[in-house]
Amino acid sequence: MNRKWVGSFLIIVLLVFGGWMFFNSPFSTSKQALPAEVKTDGTSILDIGNQKAEERPVKTFSLTAQEKEWRINADKQVEAWTYNGTVPGKPLRVTEGDFVKVHLKNELSVPVTIHWHGMILPNQMDGVPGLTQDAVQPGESFTYEFIANDAGTYWYHSHQHSSKQVDKGLYGSLIIEEKDPAYQKEQIFMLDEWAVDQEKQSLTNMGGMMMGSMSGDGEADTKQMYDTLTVNGKSGNAIEPLQMEAGETARLRFINAGYQQHRLVFPEGSMEVIAADGEKVVTDGTSSNMLEIAPGERIDVAFTRQGEETEVIGEDPTTEYDRGMKIPVVSEKEADSFSYDQLSISSAASQETGTSNGSEELLFKETPESDVTYHMDLSMGMDMGEGMSFQINNKVFPDTPLIPVSEGDVVKVRITNSGRLNHPMHLHGHRFQVASKDGQAYENPIVKDLIHVKPGEEYTVYFKADNKGEWLFHCHDNNHADRGMVTIVDYQGVYSPFKLDGEHSNQP
């Protein structure tokens, strides 16, 4: 055999193995395999839980999935996939207690769905292809119906091939307003990242490459993948300024629709977190000027404009180079005269993010006894040919071990991250109470549907199995989910009549 060839082969083997070793301590194996054995006993998820409007006010919307050239700013344009031609899709606003009907029409050349992120709704309305419905084929339609029960900030996005479809713009916000809103003024900010100046890089080749350039904040992959940051679909000086007068207070709803965590810095003393993942948090009067928001997460803050001078809310310059995420805060008369380039973000005065005050309403007053216990270990592997894989208990979906529950169970999930990247883990159809971090019980637990688990961290969460169905629990960096980091909360006595792949190309 040719010596040179053997030499380069060895180097490649070393690089790949090195990359793999770098991300994982324990040895693990993985293989993408056939869809999991699906049980077919009991009741179909189509026969449980559907809701009727009855006396409720009905709010009806139409969303059409369509292609659109989307202008991110004066010199950046992308081929986007959109709901109704804009990125984000139009905000859907309803009032708590309303009955919501959304007609989805698919005018794209690929199948799509809509998932209602954070909503507690009937399983068959959850929008997960292959699990709760068949993907909606080109030219076809589907109607989603549910009761908008809890006021708060939610969002919607396609759950078909999400790593691509959400990336290309198939998302928008869903706001459930309180009957009696606490703030007169409010604004939604959906954050995202795009690969505009470069091809989006694939995780297939990143393993070896990332060894040299690991930034250590658990975001190395996304930082390499994307070059442009957007707020409501716009970047840099195309971002719509927030118009407020000095002393005025508004509710700002932040939704991270991207796959990278963002750390937004506010003027000092101007911001207080009031809700996380749609749940009100206890406000203790202390204020941080830094807001960390994980992929998929929603955080609402009360923001007060401090003075007469133009202000800015923007990505922390100490952890991020400038990729265009700055929101100008201007008064009405400054609106046309301020200069975007002169907005300078102060560095964070505090590393505290203000999201750990605990929730106003808890699911459990005290740490409960659990009926089901599941240890979810998150890790990373390398597959020859496939590149990186992202594993739950050393397996990639659909081979990951399910979380089997019976209705009424209290479920305890201990989540550990033994890899080197961040994993925002999101549970569909339920909320969980985060009881402890790294073995330390929280004095004030927080109720959420997404927990950002960073390398080396361990969280224990509890939830009540009170919404029958088949529900995903997965990493909301959908590039990771796409490569395996997904499992299912599987209720006994129900089954999904849908299949992964197959003629509908269902790809959750």
* Footprint of Cu ion (CB under 5 A): 423, 475, 477, 480
Q: Which lies closer to ligand C2O via its Cβ, residue 154 or residue 338?
A: 154
Provide DSSP, 72-96: EETTEEEEEEEETTBSSEEEEEEET
Stretch near ligand C2O under the rule CB under 6 A, chosen from 24-32, 241-249, 270-278, 470-478: 470-478
The phi-psi region of residue 233 (left if phi > 0; otherwise alpha if psi is between -120 and 50; otherwise beta) is left
Q: Which lies closer to ligand C2O via its Cβ, residue 174 or residue 446?
A: 174
Locate 264 and state its tokens: 């937004």
Work out whether 480 is an interface residue with ligand C2O (CB under 6 A).
Answer: no
What pairs with residue 61 in β-bridges? 102
**Binder of residue 428, out of Cu ion, ligand C2O, none (CB less than 5 to 8 A by kind):** ligand C2O
**Binder of residue 167, out of ligand C2O, Cu ion, none (CB less than 5 to 8 A by kind):** none
Distance CA 104, CA 114 (A): 8
**Binder of residue 159, out of ligand C2O, Cu ion, none (CB less than 5 to 8 A by kind):** ligand C2O
Distance of CA 181 to the CA centre of its chain: 26
Q: Which lies closer to Cu ion via its Cβ, residue 251 or residue 480?
A: 480
Q: Which lies closer to ligand C2O via its Cβ, residue 256 or residue 289?
A: 256
Mention every residue, 6+ apart, whose C-beta is less than 8 A from residue 65. Answer: 81, 82, 83, 104, 105, 106, 107, 108, 112, 158, 170
**Binder of residue 298, out of Cu ion, ligand C2O, none (CB less than 5 to 8 A by kind):** none
- One-letter amino acid identity for 126? D
Binding residues for ligand C2O restricted to 424-443, rule: CB under 6 A: 426, 428
Q: Which lies closer to ligand C2O via its Cβ, residue 98 or residue 449?
A: 449
User: Binder to ligand C2O among 161, 474, 483, 504 (CB under 6 A)?
Assistant: 474
**How many residues are recorded in the chain?**
508
Q: Which lies closer to Cu ion via its Cβ, residue 23 or residue 70?
A: 23
Size of the site for ligand C2O (CB under 6 A): 10
Buried b / exposed e along 69-90 (16+ C-beta atoms within 10 A):
ebbbbeebebebbbbbeebbbe
Q: Which lies closer to ligand C2O via its Cβ, residue 127 or residue 328?
A: 127
Q: Name the phi and psi angles at 271, rounded to 5.
A: -135, 140
Mention every residue, 6+ apart, whose C-beta is less than 8 A from residue 440. Answer: none
**Binder of residue 278, out of Cu ion, ligand C2O, none (CB less than 5 to 8 A by kind):** none
Distance CA 443, CA 366 (A): 10
**Binder of residue 477, out of ligand C2O, Cu ion, none (CB less than 5 to 8 A by kind):** Cu ion
* Shortest CB 214 distance to Cu ion, Å: 15
Stretch near ligand C2O under the rule CB under 6 A, chosen from 47-55, 180-188, 440-448, 469-477: 469-477
Provide DSSP, 426-485: EESS--EEEEEETTEEEEEEEEESEEEE-TT-EEEEEEE--S-SEEEEEESSHHHHTTT-
Q: Which lies closer to ligand C2O via its Cβ, residue 303 or residue 471?
A: 471
State the CB neighbour count (10 A cutoff) for residue 96.
Answer: 15
* Shortest CB 40 distance to ligand C2O, Å: 24
Locate 160 and state its tokens: 């078909």
Distance CA 106, CA 112 (A): 7
Q: Which lies closer to ligand C2O via its Cβ, residue 405 or residue 485?
A: 485
User: Binder to ligand C2O among 76, 105, 157, 412 (CB under 6 A)?
Assistant: 157
* Shortest CB 477 distance to Cu ion, Å: 4
User: Binder to ligand C2O among 296, 387, 429, 484 (CB under 6 A)?
Assistant: 296
Q: Are 459 and 422 in contact (CB under 8 A)?
A: no
**Binder of residue 472, out of ligand C2O, Cu ion, none (CB less than 5 to 8 A by kind):** ligand C2O
The phi-psi region of residue 466 (left if phi > 0; otherwise alpha if psi is between -120 and 50; otherwise beta) is alpha
Residue with the CB atom nearest ligand C2O in the bound state: 117
Mention every residue, 6+ apart, whose C-beta is less than 8 A from residue 176. Answer: 94, 95, 96, 98, 148, 149, 150, 151, 152, 154, 278
Provide DSSP, 289-340: SEEEE-TT-EEEEEEE--SSS-EEEEE-TTTS--SS-EEEEE-GGGTTT--G
Work out whether 472 is an interface residue with ligand C2O (CB under 6 A).
Answer: yes
Return the biggest CA–CA distance within the chain.
79
Q: Which lies closer to Cu ion via its Cβ, residue 124 or residue 222?
A: 222
Distance CA 120, CA 254 (A): 20
Q: Annotate each residue in 106-145 with x if it binds ligand C2O (CB under 6 A) or - if it does not, as one string.
A: ---------x-x----------------------------
**Binder of residue 381, out of ligand C2O, Cu ion, none (CB less than 5 to 8 A by kind):** none
Stretch near ligand C2O under the rule CB under 6 A, chosen from 31-39, 87-95, 471-479, 489-497: 471-479
**Binder of residue 395, out of Cu ion, ligand C2O, none (CB less than 5 to 8 A by kind):** none
Q: Which lies closer to ligand C2O via its Cβ, residue 88 or residue 296?
A: 296
* Shortest CB 166 distance to ligand C2O, Å: 8
* Shortest CB 428 distance to ligand C2O, Å: 6
The residues binding ligand C2O (CB under 6 A) are 115, 117, 157, 159, 296, 426, 428, 472, 474, 476
